Amino acid sequence: MDKMRMESVDITDQNIEKIGALFPNVITETKDKNGKLTKAINFELLKQELSKDIIDGDEAYEFTWVGKKAAIIEANSPIRKTLRPCKEESVNWDTTENLYIEGDNLEVLKLLQESYLGKVKMIYIDPPYNTGNDFIYKDDFMKTRDEYDNVSGIFDESKNRLFKNTDTNGRFHSDWCSMIYSRLKLAKNLLAQNGIIAISIDDNEQDNLKIICDELFGESNFIAKCPRKTVEHIRKLTDAEMQVLNDYVLIYCKERASCILNKKATGKKTYEYRDDMGEFTLKSLQNSGENGTRRARPNLYYPIYYSKSTNEFSLEKSNDDIKILPRKVKGEDGRWLWSREKFQKDKGMLYFKNNYVFRKVYNNPEEDQQNYQAEKNWLDSFPNKNGSSRLTELGMGGTFDYPKPVNLIDFLLSIGDDKDALILDFFSGSSTTAEAVMRRNIQDSGHRKFIMVQFPEDLDESFSKASNSDKAKIEPAIKFLTLNNLPHKITELGKERIRRTGADLREKYLDVDFDFGFRVMKVDASNMTDVYYSADSYDQSMLNQLESNIKPDRTDLDLLFGCLLEWGLPLSMPYTSENIDGCTIHTYNDGDLIACFSENIPENIIKEIAKRKPLRAVFRDSGFKGSPEKINVTEIFKMQSPGTTIKVI
C-alpha cells in the first residue's frame, strides 16, 4: 500500500525521464542538496546529441534576461501546497462544473498540472501590462533581501508576492519577463493539443511577450497578433505625442496540425449574392481584381466548354459545347480564379447561368466553413468602455480599471467553436471570462466550463501604499465591498461579479438551462504536518508530536480534494458522502475514487468499499491500528477488487 506524495508534481524529474527515453546516454547521477544520489542530465553531451557539428563556443540565437534560468527552475520546482474547498462561498457547489480558485497563479498552475494536463481548450489571460503602475508578482527567484526591501508591495505571510514594478527599477523588463515566462511555461502543459492561448498586452511588453511565446509555444504555432481598438475619443496631445488607441491580443495554438479555427469567427463570407434556387450561393469564377488580367497570370487564361445536353463542363470541346472565355477587364483579356488543374478537379462545383460560369458555394452550415476567407486581424468592435459599461449594469461600476469587454472574450471563445471546451483564465480580475463562457453557452446550448484564478490582493493594504491617484482608483472597490459586507479582497469582486451575472442571465433567459455556479477553492499550505515529509528526522522522544500526520484544522473535504489533485482527477465532478457504522465514505465521480478518512476503520467498511470496485481507494494512515490491519486491507482488495489502486495519507 503506497503512501501519497501530497505535493505538486516535480516537472524537472518528468523532463529528465522524457529526455532519458530519447537519449539514454545523457543520463548521469549527481548528489542532491541532502547528499543523496539522483538522476541528472549531462548537458554537454545532450547539446552534442542535438548538433550535427562539434560544439565549440557559447554563441547562439536566443532571448535572455537577468533571472530567466531562475524562472525556469521556479516553474519546474514542486510545492507543498493544496487547494481547500470553500462551500460557503460557492454557488451550486454540488452540481456546478466551474471553478474559482484564489491564490498565487504560479502555485495554482503547479497544483493543476496533473488534474488538467492537456485538457484546457482555451486559455485567455490579461496579465499586468508593466506600465510602471501595475502590481505584478514577485516570485521566489528574486535575488536578494535588499531587492525585496527596495520595492513597495503587498505581502502574504512571509514572502513578497505582488509589487509595483516602476520603470526606475533596474530590472523593470526582467522582472516582468520572469513573471510571465514561468506561468506560460506551466500553462502550456495544460493546453489540449488543439487548444489555443490568447493574451492581452500593450506596447510596453508586446515585443518581449512575442519572443517568449515563440520560444515556449514555437514560432510555427503563432496564429496572430491582433490590434484591439481600446478607446474611441481623441484627447488633446502635446507637440511630441501620438495617441495610442489600441493594445493587442496575441494568439498561439498548442499544435498547428491539430488546431482548426472557426472561420466564421475569423473571416467573412466569400460569396456575393444568393441564387434564387436557395440551396447554394453563386460566386463568379472570373477574377476581376487589380491583377485579374491575362497579362498578369497567363496560365489562368483558357477556354471552358459547357455542354447544354449533359450540363457538364470540360476543357475539351464536343459537338454542341459552348465555348466560354474570361470576360475582359479594363479592355484587356481577363482570367479565371482557378487553374486548369483545379478546374479539372472541381468542375462539378460549377454552374452555368446567363451564358456565364459561376462556382457553387453551398449554404449548409456543416459545409459552410469553406466559404469564409480570413479578415484583417484588427479588433475594432471591443473598446474598453464596453467592459466598464457592463460592470455598471451589474451595479459594480468603478470597481475595476479597464475591465475587458465581454464581447472580446466571446469572440475569442468563438474561434475555437467547441461547445464542451474547458476555459482557463489565471489573471481573472473582474471575471469577464466567466461571464463570456456563460453567455456563449446560452447562445448555442453549449457546455463549456471555466476555471478562474486570481490572487487575493488585500485592497486595504494596496490603498495604504498607493499614491493619491491610485487611491482614487481603489476607493470605489473598497466602498462596494463594504456596502455588501464582503472582505476587502479583489477576489471578492470577481466572485460577486459571477454571482450577479448568473442572476441577471437567469432572469433574462428563463427557458435556458446553463451552469451559472462555481466551486470556490483556495490555495493553502499542505494538509500534512512536517513529519509526513520527513519522518526520519523525528525520534522516539518526539512521539507525542506524531499522533497524526494531518493538520488538526483540516476536514475530510480538504483531504479528499488534496487526493484528487495528486491523482490527477478534475475538481468539478459530483461526489457523495455517506455514514456507515460511524465511518464516513466519500465516493467521487461514481467510483473514480472512494475515500475513508475515519480512525480505526473496521473490516466490514473495508469490505464494503472493495465490493464497490472503485478505481482508486485512499485511507488515513492512522486509520489502522498497525501493519497487520494494513496487510489485511490489501488482501481484501486483492480478492474483491484487484483492479483498485490503494494509497494512504
| pLDDT value for 148 | 35
| pLDDT value for 167 | 66
In DSSP notation, 326-351 reads PPPBTTB-BEESS-HHHHHHHGGGEE
Cβ–Cβ under 8 Å, residues 550 and 557: no
| pLDDT value for 539 | 54
Residue 554: pLDDT band (50, 70, 90) is very high
Angle between helices 11-22 and 68-76 (to 10 degrees): 100
| pLDDT value for 402 | 86
Q: Which residue has the higher pLDDT, 562 or 271?
A: 562
Show the beta-strand stretches assigned E in 304-410: 304-307, 312-314, 321-324, 335-336, 350-353, 356-362, 372-374
% residues pLDDT > 90 (the chain): 51
Report in angstroms the alpha-carbon separations of 285 from 122, 280, 301: 38, 15, 12
The DSSP bridge pattern shows strands 267-269 and 372-374 to be: antiparallel
466 DSSP assignment:
S
* Cα distance between residue 308 and residue 321, in whole Å: 7
In DSSP notation, 120-174 reads EEEEEE-----SSSSEEE--TT---HHHHHTS-EEE-SSSEEEEE--TTSTTHHH
| pLDDT value for 204 | 85
- For 263-305, the pLDDT digits (tens) are 666 665 544 434 444 456 778 888 877 788 998 889 999 999 9
- Least confident range of 9-13, 375-379, 636-640: 375-379
- For 198-217, the pLDDT digits (tens) are 999 998 889 999 999 999 99
Q: Is the pLDDT of residue 151 over 90?
A: no
> CA geometry: angle at 495 spanning 490 and 501, to 5°?
125
Phi and psi torsions of 362, nearest 5°:
-70, 150
Q: Which three cell numbers stand for residue 407?
A: 464581447
Q: Which three cell numbers stand for residue 307?
A: 455542354
Which amino acid does the sequence have at 296?
A
386 DSSP assignment:
H
Q: Is the pLDDT of residue 156 over 50?
A: no
Residue 450: pLDDT band (50, 70, 90) is very high
| pLDDT value for 131 | 73
623's CB contacts (< 8 A; 6+ apart) are: 596, 597, 598, 599, 600, 601, 648
Cβ–Cβ under 8 Å, residues 102 and 520: yes
* Cα distance between residue 88 and residue 114, in whole Å: 26
89-103, 336-350, 382-396: which is most confident: 89-103
Helices (H) and strands (E) in the chain, counts: 19, 31
- Of 521, 532, 626, 501, whose CA–CA distance to 564 is shortest? 521
Q: Which three cell numbers stand for residue 585?
A: 465514505
Cβ–Cβ under 8 Å, residues 190 and 119: yes
- Of 182, 91, 81, whose CA–CA distance to 523 is shortest? 81
| pLDDT value for 135 | 59
Q: Is the pLDDT of residue 155 over 50?
A: no
| pLDDT value for 162 | 67
| pLDDT value for 45 | 79
| pLDDT value for 482 | 97
Residue 499: pLDDT band (50, 70, 90) is very high
* Cα distance between residue 596 and residue 638, in whole Å: 18
> Is residue 531 within a helix (H) or strand (E), and if so which, with residue range?
helix 530-533
**Number of other CB atoms surrounding residue 44 within 10 Å:** 10
Strand order in the sheet with 321-324: 312-314, 304-307, 321-324
- Of 56, 16, 30, 93, whose CA–CA distance to 557 is shortest? 93
Q: What is the rounded average pLDDT for all residues in the chain?
A: 85
The pTM for the full model equals 0.77
Over range 100-118, report the average pLDDT.
96
| pLDDT value for 141 | 41
The DSSP bridge pattern shows strands 191-201 and 120-125 to be: parallel
| pLDDT value for 157 | 42
Over range 101-122, report the average pLDDT.
96
| pLDDT value for 189 | 96
Paired strand residues for 248: 201, 227
% residues pLDDT > 70 (the chain): 84
Q: Which three cell numbers stand for residue 167?
A: 520603470
| pLDDT value for 264 | 62
Cβ–Cβ under 8 Å, residues 390 and 500: no
- For 574-593, the pLDDT digits (tens) are 999 999 999 999 999 999 99
85's CB contacts (< 8 A; 6+ apart) are: 519, 520, 521, 557, 558, 561
- For 525-551, the pLDDT digits (tens) are 999 988 777 655 555 554 455 567 899
**Block residue for cell numbers 506596447:** 203
Q: Is the pLDDT of residue 91 over 80?
A: yes
555 DSSP assignment:
-
Residue 47: pLDDT band (50, 70, 90) is confident
Residue 374: pLDDT band (50, 70, 90) is very low
Show the beta-strand stretches assigned E in 420-505: 422-425, 449-454
* Cα distance between residue 573 and residue 359, in whole Å: 50
- Least confident range of 258-267, 372-381, 399-408: 372-381
What three-state secondary structure class fits 370? helix
